[in-house]
Amino acid sequence: MRLLLLLTVASFPVSVTLHHGLVSLCVLIVLYNVFRERKLPQGGLLANPIHLFNFSTVASALLYMPEKIREALSSSFLRYGYLSSLRGEIRGPDFFHLLNRILLLEGILLLPVFAYNLFVMNRYKLLWGNMSKVAEIYALFTLVSLSLALYRRSWIYFLISGVFFAVMMSPARRAEILGLVLTVFLIVALYMKRNRAYLKQGMVFLAAVVVLLTGGFLYFAEHQKDPRFVLALEVLKGQRELNEETLDRLSTTRWNNLKASLVVVGRDFSEGNIVPLLVGHGIYGGGKLTPPPPNGLPYYEGIGIVLEFIQRGALGVIALILIFLRSLKVLFSLDLGRRESLMLLPFVSYMVFYNFSAVFTPYVNATLPVALLMFGLAEGYLRQSRERRI
């Protein structure tokens, strides 16, 4: 099972089809053990929130979006990969060290692929996915290389993390940049709190992150002429007034989407639509609602929690809040003064990154299964470690 879990995580940057196939195999093994042992698997911190989230997803699809029931069931099934990782019985930190090194190697080997796609094919792409996947995959590599840098206390790994961070920023995906920056600041703050001797180095690293962010912003505004960054620079310079029109352009129609979504939510409350308020209108149900999403998508891409309230109702939102808070709780519980904890850090922090990056986007995408699986591996190991000490 350990080898399968290692291959499942390591396959994510290479092929989403292979990754989801391996996740499905992990879930099937869990189901086999349930029938063989006639006992439900021991749940972790995220088990009940995932049950609740999956229930609202499937229930709303059955009621309001039956044409999406297959997608609702398949995505819910993949999320149970989290339960398989809890049963991994990882008995030493060597597993995490090995997997971190494999992911680091993948990040280095994928750099020529990224360069070829960008400079020859003129597209942001790796072996699969679009520009958002470039950002999400290299966010994972950044967290891995940063953790190895703290573990090894080597500036080489810090430089590698800087390269990975630059690649992650290159598609100018604001949600992923926000998610990774917040996660990195949390990690460095926690590390400095537990390792006060490295306060100076931590401040230098955070300053370097700010310089990279500022440089990236100016690059996209001045050289790439990205309209979002150009407009933001004009607002900062006082050349443009910050009003609803500029706010909507800066947010890529998210402002008008948010206003439309609030109309839908307000109507559900005023009309007493209890079932949609509990389980939502179904995934991609926005296309059937009035007013429709202004950006033409089948969902209201404004504020993530409002979007999910419309799609999965109060039950789904409660599940997301629990996932967010409990993943943060595990991150804060890591003793980053211990080198063993540093090897667990990417596995916990990638879930935190995923949660932060979904603030302005739909919560569910192809990356969620690996984030849950990695978090479950770290949580399962921490629980086994506590049980052994007892």
Structure tokens at 255: 């402002």
pLDDT of residue 100: 95
15 vs 235, higher pLDDT:
15
Q: Quick one: pLDDT band at residue 226, thresholds 50, 70, 90?
A: low
Q: Is the pLDDT of residue 281 over 80?
A: yes
- Report the pLDDT averaged over residues 65-76: 94
| Contact between residue 46 and residue 375 where contact means Cβ atoms under 8 Å apart | yes
- Report the pLDDT averaged over residues 89-108: 87
Give the whole-angstrom CA distance, residue 75 versus residue 20: 10
Buried b (16+ CB within 10 A) or exposed e, 34-61: eeeeeeebeebbbbebbbbbbbbbbbbb
Residue 198 DSSP one-character state: G
Q: What is the residue type of 232?
A: A
Structure tokens at 360: 């302005």
Q: By percentage, how much of the chain surpasses pLDDT 90? A: 51
pLDDT of residue 212: 72
pLDDT of residue 360: 84
pLDDT of residue 88: 58
Mean pLDDT of the chain: 87
pTM value is 0.90
pLDDT of residue 224: 58
pLDDT tens per residue, range 131-164: 899 999 999 999 999 999 988 888 899 899 989 9
Maximum mean pLDDT: which of 79-93, 203-217, 280-294: 280-294
- Report the pLDDT averaged over residues 296-300: 84
- Report the pLDDT averaged over residues 93-109: 93
pLDDT of residue 319: 97
